[in-house]
Structure 1
Amino acid sequence: MKKILVAPLNWGLGHATRCIPIINGLIDNGFEPVIASDGVALELLKKEFPKLISFELPSYNIQYAQKGRNFKWKMIAQIPKIISAIQNEQKTVAKIISAYHFDGIISDNRLGVFSKEVPSVFITHQLNVLTGSTSWLTTILHKKYIQKFDECWVPDVETSPNLSGKLGHPTELIKNVKYIGPLSRLCKKPMPTVYDLMVLLSGPEPQRTILEEKIILELEKYPKKVIFIKGVVEKKQIKEVKNNITYYNFMNSRELQTTFNESNHILCRSGYTTVMDLAKLNKKAFFIATPGQYEQEYLAKKFKKEGIIPSCKQEDFTIKKLDEIELYKGFTNYSKKITWKELFDLF
């Protein structure tokens, strides 16, 4: 069996969760996937695939701003540290490839996880990297890294309508790009509605905790049945019931799929992986973008403008705003059948 290294970025949980269907696709097509990441992304995939070999990669150790307006400048200040982490990644991957004789690499946004010795794939939905006035520069730098890989897989459709908008559809296309269709680990199932609202949190701290505390405070005025998944991956799953709200620290894919299908409406971040899940499940939702994350702010505005999903800024959220959900049409299925065999021919 050919060994393929699958390495998602540890930034929230989205990069790790959208690698789950890829790992399953590799297994179904006779490959041996091996996991490589760090932090909660690595922990999540180890819980999903306890029998697979895994490696820990150097952490970027990014610190996130307390206030959204400082997000970009805090990130820029950490560029030397990020470049150092990418270089450490390259050294670690070179040692792993040499010692374990891998046949291919699939990197989800880990810029240093590639090799000239084996076919290497980069996964991203951001061919345009939005950072406000510096978008032109971040896009050029990102493109330079993408071109180091044999192929770049964009989890979206090439034509319009699509999910990623200008993020994944630049005016000048990069030569090694393939549009593979949206990636989701979830499937739509006919189930009776159990919860009026599902709250799904994820993303970097401290913003995840800030939003959690705000929503919990707002839910005191919400009488309907709620399930609240905090997006905190820990060794043990914890369930807690308080009045009309059931809390979980995290769920695995099977549990999340059931909960999504049993929930009427979703309250969540506008991260791209969540967007792909909602589109697959044809769900109605309300978006709150992570403050300062231009990508999430763009996606929230895009879907609000298109009449698909309502949204607001984090500081403006009140529970009353959930009433807007019914005024929007929600997602229709943007799915495209992914031909794993053709994609994996590269290896």
Structure 2
Amino acid sequence: MAHKKRILIAPLNWGLGHATRCIPVINALINHDFDPIIASDGAALELLKKEYPNLTCLTLPSYNITYSKIGKLFKYKLLKDSPRILKNIQAEKKATSQIVENYNISGIISDNRFGVYSKKVSSVFITHQLQVLSGSTTWLSTKMHEKIIRKFNECWVPDYREEPNLSGKLGHVDASDMKLRYIGPVSRFKKAALPITYDIMVLLSGPEPQRSILEQKLTIELQQYSGAILFVKGLVEREIKKESQGNITFYNYMTSNLLEDSLNSSELVISRSGYTTIMDFAKLGKKAFFIPTPGQFEQEYLADLLSKNKLVPSCNQDEFSIQKLDDITEFNGLKTFDYEINYKELFSLFQTE
């Protein structure tokens, strides 16, 4: 009996978005008779271990990216940390070549992990950021990112090539000679017509300390609200914890099925404007309110783009108040998409001997 080909799939541990958008890809690998091996670190790895208790899960060196308390200083903190991050990428490359050897890997899918590729097997990079926004240094961060992408056989962009699309200028660059494939938006969720149980759902994620800062702020603001609220903190721990305080039900985190049901049965969602979140809400056709992570240019750009297109209102973290939710009536919400990704064609890259 022929052995199933093993594909290494490795999402970046930066918030939970990279890990959660790998879930439909992992499911598709299993359905197409591959054996996925998962590799990441921190909360991203913990989340995937819970989703796939029967798959091999390996730990990669951590990038240890944290935010500054002051959003404006994020870029400088990243620059200061960059020698350490580069060192970790080197460690990641070494770890990857050992995994390829030890586990007889036939292909690699890296979601934004710069060092997870191999010249010995077909390697794919998943990103929606062909243009990496960093203010006055955007040209430089974009050039550096392109250099990394070129080390891979293909780059899969989870968006539509044409307009209307979800990533705007982030995922669309001119005259690119990179091997790009626009694979369409990716989401682990399905839309379901469930009765509305919650007036507001809060869905938090992302690196500290900004996750905690927003959690505190929203907890205080939402005490003025009388409707039913579901508050998911985005803290991946050993087990799911649930507690109620008045009209607010708190969860530390949720698995995919529970989260899908909760989103489908919520009227409105307050969250960060991360790209995976936007793809998920578009799939479910949700009304939302976005609060981008301070200093994260990409989230600020996406929130601004969706506001300008009259889809989702947003404001920065310091300005948020419960009254801001009144703006929602003037916005259309994100439209659902029924896009089927042709995984058979995508995975044909790994079929060649």
Report TM bin, short chain: over 0.9
Q: CA RMSD in A?
A: 0.7
Query: 2 CA distance for matches of 1:63 and 1:13?
Result: 14
Cα distance, 1:323 vs structure 2: 1.2
Q: Which residue of 1 aligns with 2:195?
A: 192
Aligned pair 1:275/2:275, yes or no? Answer: no
Q: Which residue of 1 aligns with 2:70?
A: 67
Q: Which amino acid aligns with 2:140?
A: L
Match runs of 1:334-345 below 5 Å? 334-345=337-348
Q: Which residue of 1 aligns with 2:172?
A: 169
Q: Secondary structure at the match of 1:47?
A: helix
Q: Which residue of 1 aligns with 2:137?
A: 134
Q: 2:288 aligns with which of 285, 290, 300?
A: 285
User: Conserved in 2, the CA contact under 8 Å of 1:279 and 1:335?
Assistant: no
Match runs of 1:289-300 below 5 Å? 289-300=292-303
Query: 2 CA distance for matches of 1:114 and 1:160?
Result: 31
User: Conserved in 2, the CA contact under 8 Å of 1:157 and 1:336?
Assistant: no
Query: 2 CA distance for matches of 1:6 and 1:312?
Result: 35
Query: 1 CA distance for matches of 2:196 and 2:176?
Result: 43
Aligned pair 1:264/2:263, yes or no? Answer: no
Match runs of 1:166-245 below 5 Å? 166-245=169-248
Q: Which amino acid aligns with 2:346?
A: L
User: Conserved in 1, the CA contact under 8 Å of 2:289 and 2:328?
Assistant: yes
Match runs of 1:4-19 below 5 Å? 4-19=7-22
Q: 1:44 aligns with which of 43, 47, 64?
A: 47
Q: Secondary structure at the match of 2:19?
A: helix
Query: 2 CA distance for matches of 1:326 and 1:16?
Result: 32
User: Conserved in 2, the CA contact under 8 Å of 1:127 and 1:142?
Assistant: yes
User: Conserved in 2, the CA contact under 8 Å of 1:182 and 1:335?
Assistant: no
Q: Which amino acid aligns with 1:190?
A: A
Q: Larger deviation: 192-201 or 319-328?
A: 319-328
Q: Which amino acid aligns with 1:28?
A: N
Q: Deviations over 1:131-167 (max 9, x none)?
A: 0000000000000000000000000000000000000
Q: Larger deviation: 331-340 or 235-244?
A: 331-340
Q: Which residue of 1 aligns with 2:35?
A: 32
**TM-score (norm: length of structure 2):** 0.97
Q: Secondary structure at the match of 2:303?
A: helix
Query: 2 CA distance for matches of 1:154 and 1:297?
Result: 20
Q: Deviations over 1:236-294 (max 9, x none)?
A: 11000111000000000000000000000000000000000010001110000000000
Aligned pair 1:103/2:117, yes or no? Answer: no
Query: Which ranges in structure 1 are unaligned for 5 or more consecutive residues?
Result: none
Dislocated runs of 4+, deviation >4 Å: none
Query: 2 CA distance for matches of 1:215 and 1:52?
Result: 37
**TM-score (norm: length of structure 1):** 0.99
Q: Which residue of 2 aligns with 1:94?
A: 97
Q: Deviations over 1:192-217 (max 9, x none)?
A: 00000000000010000000000000
Q: Larger deviation: 181-190 or 325-334?
A: 325-334
Query: 1 CA distance for matches of 2:247 and 2:326?
Result: 19
Q: Secondary structure at the match of 1:309?
A: coil
Aligned pair 1:123/2:126, yes or no? Answer: yes
Distance 1:172-1:58 versus aligned 2 partners, 3 A rule = same
Q: Secondary structure at the match of 2:190?
A: coil
Q: Secondary structure at the match of 2:288?
A: strand
Query: 1 CA distance for matches of 2:336 and 2:66?
Result: 36
Cα distance, 1:335 vs structure 2: 4.3
Q: Which residue of 2 aligns with 1:329?
A: 332
User: Conserved in 2, the CA contact under 8 Å of 1:162 and 1:334?
Assistant: no
Aligned pair 1:148/2:163, yes or no? Answer: no
Cα distance, 1:64 vs structure 2: 1.7
Q: Secondary structure at the match of 2:128?
A: coil
User: Conserved in 1, the CA contact under 8 Å of 2:14 and 2:65?
Assistant: no
Q: Which residue of 2 aligns with 1:21?
A: 24
Query: 1 CA distance for matches of 2:98 and 2:24?
Result: 27
Distance 1:174-1:265 versus aligned 2 partners, 3 A rule = farther
Q: Secondary structure at the match of 1:345?
A: helix
Query: 1 CA distance for matches of 2:65 and 2:200?
Result: 32
